[in-house]
């Protein structure tokens, strides 16, 4: 061999060896090219919805409607939590990355389930007072060897994907208001896009961008204007301020948080996101003048390079029913009115399925996909809904049985689109709830005991072109109450849609074309999160993280596990351990009706959001009807006012309650415990 050729051979061989060693020492080597071409890597799941179009579709087809009966459990891993699981994993180059409650993250071998690392950011338990709806996390993003995600206490953290060791951490929420982060970030062209939660409290919403390599702050787009006396950040905020008619909105924050839905559109280089409810939630209290309140409950687009405003569409002007637009925003190329359009689509919480032109925000179509009675339709000329006057109970001071109720027709659970069937699969709900003055509602219920108060869920197959339902699954009803009954949906190239539920504790596969139920697996716990499908060494897998309300409630092991299936899988899922739930055993009532009524109002304002209607939360927070602290006012006050359980997540409410509130609150909880006892006997030990 000639010397130059030998030298070249040695150099090439050395470079190849160095490259192989570097690859072996790294993980999640995700860059802009891989994300843009994610559809070409069929076996990977490198971002929240697999591809930038947020369609939540896997083209893998080795598991299909012809062999689904052979699908079995390949392996499972117990997850270190007894809280609800609301995130699906990423799968990159043979490794699964799963986020967990309390902002923990774990990495596992995607073929065997072997744990590679677990990271705990040590979120203070006291932070739970700043969180509306549970200590959840809905996912992570990957970039250049890093797993990037947000924490409940407002940090954005990048972990070394190989080791789980932090690479950088930055505070992504201001300290002056009650913010948290529960949603998944998105990444494009080296920028991390992240929002925040807190609209139930005093948040002023925004979308941020950070440098994915360093965590350096790049830009912020505020979703509502601040105090005019301090000057507006830009012309867009000045424009938005004109839609707030009553001065002082900035004192309570305004709301409009970007708590979940974020989509990057490579075709337009826009970041499109949905905003939350206004703060306060009652439109009259927020803005008695009746302004639209931009950009509350809106779908907004900004330029990815600098965060400058591009367009917006407000689904519900002067919103008052908690109809935020934090639901998934999906990019589709479909025919509308005989013309191909590039659209952003949403099954919004208010019950309407929207198509907007992705480049301009023009409203193209809006039709109800579930029961809707607060509006009779949407005006396509100006985009405004035709609101039923009786639905604005803050103006009529009367009762209205609203649907969708505040839980919405579709929440954070992922919907899916199959390019094969051309259908969108929506985890849809029908929710009826009385709204109006507190006293009037109690009187109405007493006089109309058969009033609809139901919450049911289903998987709906929706034709996005014709804007009509094609098929629906069986209905899921949670007999214990609560507002989560369905999971996210996953469509695959095998003509399948995977979907789970809470009441029946099942993970199910339906035939995508006609909805025929083909397969199910008993998960022994609720299924809330969406699933993913991936491929390792030529074999297709389906993975879903499960865990939610079970008999025994907050204190019981809830069967939180990562379940991974393959054709021919033979693993058997063990039963949950026996658990005896605390009994409902209230002390004698000590208060009169007026005090109990005061306690009911305090509970609705300060406690119901977390502990559920009638205090009967089943997993995320304790069932207060069973609380030992009901026996003793001093113990009750030490928890509620002094915060002795702060590190367990129950912080002090001394800044939010006035004298006498805790006495009234305890009296009310005793009354609902007595009512529960009268309605049904306590379950015996070993309810499982």
State the catalytic residues.
322
Task: Specify the DSSP element, H or E, that contains 395.
Answer: helix 393-396
- What does DSSP say about strands 104-109 and 95-100: parallel, antiparallel, or unpaired? antiparallel
- Per DSSP, which regions of 45-123 are E strands? 57-58, 71-78, 90-92, 95-100, 104-109, 115-119
The encoded tokens of residue 349 equal 């919480």
CA–CA distance, 625 with 614 (Å, rounded to integer): 8
List C-alpha distances in Å: 273 to 116, 160, 354, 397.
34, 28, 14, 34
User: How far apart (Å, rounded) are the C-alpha atoms in residues 364 and 467?
Assistant: 11
Both tokens assigned to 193: 């896009």
> In sequence order, what DSSP letters do the residues of 444-499 get, joined into one string?
HHHH-TT----EEEEEEEEETTTTEEEEE---EE-TT--S--EEEEEEETTTEEEE
What is the number of other CB atoms lying within 10 angstroms of the CB of residue 261?
Answer: 25
656 Cα distance to chain centroid: 27
Which residues are CB-neighbours of 235 under 8 A, at least 6 positions away? none
On whether the CB atoms of residues 505 and 527 are closer than 8 A, the answer is: yes
Two structure tokens written together for 161: 């994907």
Residues shown for the chain: 688
141 three-class SS = strand
Q: What SS3 state is found at 504?
A: coil
């Amino acid at each position: 061999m000639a010397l130059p050729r030998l030298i070249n051979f040695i150099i090439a061989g050395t470079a190849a060896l160095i490259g192989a060693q570097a690859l072996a020492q790294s993980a999640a080597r995700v860059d802009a090219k891989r994300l843009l071409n994610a559809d070409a890597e069929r076996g990977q799941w490198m971002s929240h919805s697999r591809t930038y179009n947020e369609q939540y579709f896997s083209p893998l087809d080795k598991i299909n409607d012809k062999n689904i009966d052979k699908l079995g459990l390949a392996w499972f891993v117990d997850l270190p939590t007894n809280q609800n699981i609301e995130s699906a994993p990423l799968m990159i180059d043979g490794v699964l990355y799963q986020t967990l409650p309390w902002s923990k993250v774990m990495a596992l071998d995607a073929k065997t389930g072997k744990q590679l690392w677990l990271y705990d950011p040590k979120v203070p338990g006291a932070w739970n007072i700043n969180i509306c709806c549970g200590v959840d996390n809905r996912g992570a993003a990957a970039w250049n060897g890093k797993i990037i995600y947000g924490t409940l206490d407002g940090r954005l953290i990048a972990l070394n994907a190989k080791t789980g060791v932090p690479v950088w951490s930055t505070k992504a929420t201001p300290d002056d208001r009650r913010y948290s982060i529960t949603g998944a970030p998105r990444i494009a062209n080296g920028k991390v896009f992240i929002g925040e939660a807190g609209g139930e409290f005093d948040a002023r919403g925004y979308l941020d961008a950070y440098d994915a390599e360093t965590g350096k702050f790049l830009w912020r787009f505020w979703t509502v204007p601040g105090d005019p006396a301090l000057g507006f950040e830009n012309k867009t905020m000045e424009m938005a301020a004109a839609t707030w008619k009553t001065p002082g909105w900035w004192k309570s924050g305004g709301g409009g948080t970007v708590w979940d839905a974020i989509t990057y559109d490579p075709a337009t280089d826009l970041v499109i996101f949905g905003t939350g409810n206004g703060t306060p939630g009652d439109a009259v209290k927020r803005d008695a003048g009746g302004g639209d309140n931009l950009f509350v409950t809106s779908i907004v687009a900004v330029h990815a390079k600098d965060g400058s405003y591009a367009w917006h569409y407000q689904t519900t002007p002067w919103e008052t029913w908690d109809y935020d637009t934090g639901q998934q925003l999906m990019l589709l190329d479909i025919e509308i009115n005989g013309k191909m359009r590039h659209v952003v689509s949403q099954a919004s919480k208010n019950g309407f399925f929207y198509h907007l032109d992705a480049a301009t925000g023009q409203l193209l179509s809006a039709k109800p996909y579930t029961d809707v009675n607060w509006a009779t339709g949407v005006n396509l000329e100006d985009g405004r809904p035709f609101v039923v006057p009786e639905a604005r109970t803050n103006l009529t001071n009367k009762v209205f049985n609203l649907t969708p109720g505040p839980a919405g027709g579709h929440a954070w659970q992922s919907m899916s689109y199959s390019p094969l069937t051309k259908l969108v699969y929506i985890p849809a709900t029908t929710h009826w709830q009385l709204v109006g003055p507190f006293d009037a509602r109690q009187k109405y219920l007493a006089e109309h005991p058969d009033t609809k108060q139901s919450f049911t869920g289903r998987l709906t197959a929706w034709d996005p072109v014709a804007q009509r339902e094609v098929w629906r699954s069986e209905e899921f009803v949670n007999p214990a109450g609560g507002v989560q009954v369905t999971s996210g949906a996953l469509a695959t190239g095998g003509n399948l849609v995977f979907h789970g539920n809470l009441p029946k504790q099942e993970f199910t596969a339906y035939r995508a074309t006609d909805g025929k139920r083909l397969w199910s697996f008993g998960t022994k716990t609720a299924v809330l999160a969406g699933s993913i499908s991936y491929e390792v060494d030529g074999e297709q897998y389906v993975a879903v993280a499960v865990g939610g309300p079970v008999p025994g409630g907050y204190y019981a092991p809830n069967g939180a596990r990562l379940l991974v299936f393959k054709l021919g899988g033979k693993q058997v899922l063990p039963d949950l351990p026996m658990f005896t739930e605390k009994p409902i055993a209230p002390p004698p009532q000590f208060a009169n009706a007026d005090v109990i009524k005061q306690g009911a109002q305090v509970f609705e304002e300060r406690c119901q959001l977390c502990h559920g209607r009638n205090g009967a939360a089943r997993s995320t927070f304790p069932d207060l009807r069973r609380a030992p602290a009901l026996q003793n006012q001093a113990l009750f006050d030490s928890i509620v006012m002094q915060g002795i359980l702060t590190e367990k997540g129950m912080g002090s409410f001394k800044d939010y309650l006035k004298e006498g509130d805790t006495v009234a609150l305890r009296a009310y909880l005793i009354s609902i415990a007595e009512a529960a006892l009268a309605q049904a006997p306590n379950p015996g030990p070993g309810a499982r």
